[in-house]
Amino acid sequence: MPKDHALMPETLTLANARLILPEGEMVGRVTIKGGEIVEIAAGLAVPSGAIDCGGDIIAPGLVELHTDNLERHLRPRPSAHWPLKPAIAAHDAELAACGITTVYDAIRVGSIEGKGGVGWSRYARELADALLAMRAAGALKISHHVHLRAEICSETLIEELDQFGPDDRVGIMSLMDHTPGQRQFADIGQYRTYMMGKHGLSEAVFNEHVATRQALGARVRDSHENAAIEAAQRLGAVLASHDDTLVDHVVRSAAHGIALAEFPTTPEAARACRQHGIAVMMGAPNLVRGGSHSGNVSAMDLARADLLDIVSSDYVPSALLYGAVMLGETWGDLARGIATVTAAPAQAAGLVDRGRLAEGMRADLIRFKLAEGVPVLRGVWSAGARVA
């Protein structure tokens, strides 16, 4: 796999630390050089020149597969659009400060020309261009990849997908269907509350909106789904499902070769994922808040039922490490909790060079301690470079 950061020549040893290793915890030290982990050793010794971590925890840098955080920087207020490149720089710095060293930035493809402010406007190609330009300029602290969120029941999906090629770092393609009456919006009553609240629609406009979206979905769902699956192959992206609600959704995902399910909304769907060998990803805000903000299944309930594999920060970057620590406490195994935000997402995305503290891996590291049960970061390294 090509290295995507300038390699750091210096040697750095972080000693007297609780190392979160793939097989569990060990007190010891880790040495990095040239952007890679070159040595892991047990014991309390602090060699000369090493940093004494005083018992702090050292874990792999976090791997984030689905964040909406860039969108927040692009529109800090609902009607305030921010220039793309400064938004990307601020987003990148925020993620680094939260211990995230690899991110798949979620960008929607598939737009609907809006009537009455309820459409989705086109932005994917322009944003991806800005992201790739910032990366090429060496302006980014952490490793960025693109997660294309394919809105299947939209008007422009195919032409937007055609604008992407294999050099665009598209690592994940998720298949989404936000048609009213489907998946996340299975309950039309809840959808009415959400839409009428968010967009201030009248009853008549809401009803027309639902009818239009449902007709569009019926017309394009199958052909667009096939187009997105073909595009994922062409781009070399891992396929993910989104908002699986029914066992049938999971069966359909498995038939498409999907190995990652984003935010299944019911315990039945999560259990079906387990049976089909599909990794279950849930949102860290759901863990931290003790439930879904939209009434779906609780991530902690899935964790207790051993049905949660990967955690994503979704819309709160700082929730990622905190959510992993909460899982570690729930399971009585910090290393297992940390694996849901490191080894498991790296594996699901096909990244073999990171996600674990092991010799030869990328030097993506975080140093933190727990204060009042909250993880407090004390250092973040991305490919050996200190970024926070």
- Residues 126 and 85: their CA atoms lie apart, in Å, by 11
Cβ 29 to Fe ion shortest distance, Å: 43
- Complex with Fe ion: residue 263 or 381, whichever CB lies closer: 263
- Could you say whether residue 184 binds Fe ion (CB under 5 A)? yes
- Complex with Fe ion: residue 134 or 316, whichever CB lies closer: 316
Tokens of 268: 């039945």
- Complex with Fe ion: residue 135 or 242, whichever CB lies closer: 242
**Residues 6 or more apart whose Cβ sits within 8 Å of residue 230:** none
Cβ 178 to Fe ion shortest distance, Å: 6
Cβ 112 to Fe ion shortest distance, Å: 15
- Complex with Fe ion: residue 35 or 283, whichever CB lies closer: 283
Decide: 148 and 164 in contact? Cβ < 8 Å.
yes
Q: With CB under 5 A as the contact rule, which of the stretches 20-28, 184-192, 350-358, 375-383 interacts with Fe ion?
A: 184-192
- Complex with Fe ion: residue 111 or 184, whichever CB lies closer: 184
Cβ 263 to Fe ion shortest distance, Å: 7
Cβ 174 to Fe ion shortest distance, Å: 9
Per-residue mark of binding to Fe ion, 341-360 (x: CB under 5 A): --------------------
Q: With CB under 5 A as the contact rule, which of the stretches 75-83, 92-100, 243-251, 307-315 interacts with Fe ion?
A: 243-251
- Could you say whether residue 243 binds Fe ion (CB under 5 A)? yes
The two most distant CA atoms of the chain are separated, in Å, by 74
Q: With CB under 5 A as the contact rule, which of the stretches 37-45, 107-115, 135-143, 183-191 interacts with Fe ion?
A: 183-191
- Complex with Fe ion: residue 52 or 268, whichever CB lies closer: 268
- Residues 347 and 22: their CA atoms lie apart, in Å, by 13
Select the residue whose beta carbon is closest to Fe ion and give its number.
184
- Complex with Fe ion: residue 59 or 157, whichever CB lies closer: 157
Cβ 30 to Fe ion shortest distance, Å: 38
Tokens of 171: 């690592």
Cβ 311 to Fe ion shortest distance, Å: 17
- Residues 279 and 302: their CA atoms lie apart, in Å, by 12
Closest to 272 measured CA to CA, from 297, 292, 295, 246: 246
**Residues 6 or more apart whose Cβ sits within 8 Å of residue 137:** none
The side-by-side arrangement of strands in the sheet containing 310-312 is 62-67, 100-109, 143-151, 170-176, 238-242, 260-262, 279-283, 310-312
- Complex with Fe ion: residue 36 or 243, whichever CB lies closer: 243
Cβ 294 to Fe ion shortest distance, Å: 9
Cβ 70 to Fe ion shortest distance, Å: 17
Residue count, binding to Fe ion (CB under 5 A):
2
Q: At 170, is the secondary structure helix, strand, or coil?
A: strand
- Could you say whether residue 177 binds Fe ion (CB under 5 A)? no
Decide: 160 and 118 in contact? Cβ < 8 Å.
no
Q: At 260, is the secondary structure helix, strand, or coil?
A: strand
- Complex with Fe ion: residue 69 or 184, whichever CB lies closer: 184
Decide: 297 and 267 in contact? Cβ < 8 Å.
yes
CA distances from 23 to 16, 333, 334, 335, 358 (A): 19, 11, 11, 8, 10
Which residue reads 């060990």 in tokens? 26
Q: Which residues bind Fe ion (CB under 5 A)?
A: 184, 243
